[in-house]
Chains A and B, each alone.
Chain A
């Protein structure tokens, strides 16, 4: 039997998925997930959701033509100080 309760598992599940809990807690959560069906279900749902969200961010990276005006940036740098910029 694991020592950790469902409430604590739910509280830490998100950080557990991100690998942001210490080893002791991580081991307890793993043990608990092997024994508890509802928590395992939540874990599975969160993992699926993470997959969808990560995919969404991956697919929605801006790749069009930007309107960044580099001339303006560089002329501002020249005015800002006496440093000589090498082109």
Chain B
């Protein structure tokens, strides 16, 4: 069933469609929370809260084609509500843990198959460099990068999610990219 059909059925209180709709968003919800720098300790709880809010308010979504933007705003709100509530800052180092298992298993895989190619090792190193570069950005820069690059939202959609104007989005994204370019200069020049 298409995404639009699922939304329509979920709005008619069809639980099977609602569950399918939520399950299809899991990857996006977790990825977005991770890239916003949510702590691994609370990422499951935050994702649960996002899904709860989506389920409770799906009937209020008027334009089904705006679903991605709408759920992005819910993720963003849940993340920052939690941040404000706990009066804490994102843990810049915590992101190392989240994909640790995936990286470990990737590394084991390489060992098992004896494919120590320079290419694969470079990719692992590059992934870490990029993860640290994005994680090290100030919050207002990181959030525009995540919204743009992970979900591919247009500038006006990002402005809507962040409750700001397109000019601010444009300048933040430009500055964020300048910072990333500096951090990744060894890989792009």
Contacts and interface: CB of A to CB of B under 8 A. Distances in A.
Interface in B16-67: 16, 18-19, 22-23, 26-28, 30-31, 34-35, 44, 47-48, 51-52, 55-56
Interface in A59-87: 59-64, 66-70, 72-74, 76-77, 80, 83-87
A36 interface: no
B30 A66 contact: yes
Nearest to B184: A49
A15 interface: yes
A85 B30 CA distance: 27
Given A70-B19, A84-B13, A53 B180 contact: yes
A53 B55 contact: no
A69 B189 CA distance: 46
A56 B173 contact: no
Contact of A57 (B26, B47, B126, B149): B149
B14 interface: yes
Given A54-B149, A70-B22, A86-B13, A14 B51 contact: no
A20 interface: yes
Q: How large, as a class, is the contact surface on chain A?
A: 35 or more
A34 interface: no
Nearest to A17: B177
A6 interface: no
A38 to B, nearest CB: 13
A68 B48 contact: yes
Nearest to B151: A57
B71 interface: no
Contacts of A87: 15-16
A14 B187 contact: no
B52 A53 contact: no
Contacts of B27: 61-63
Given A49-B180, A72-B48, A18 B15 contact: no
A7 interface: no
A-B residue pairs, 3 tightest by C-beta: A62-B30, A14-B174, A48-B188
14 contacts: A14-B173, A15-B174, A45-B185, A45-B189, A53-B145, A56-B131, A57-B149, A60-B35, A62-B34, A72-B48, A76-B56, A85-B13, A85-B14, A87-B15
Given A68-B26, A76-B55, A87-B16, 16 more contacts: A20-B155, A49-B177, A50-B177, A56-B126, A56-B127, A56-B130, A57-B31, A60-B127, A62-B30, A67-B47, A68-B22, A68-B44, A68-B47, A73-B51, A74-B15, A84-B13
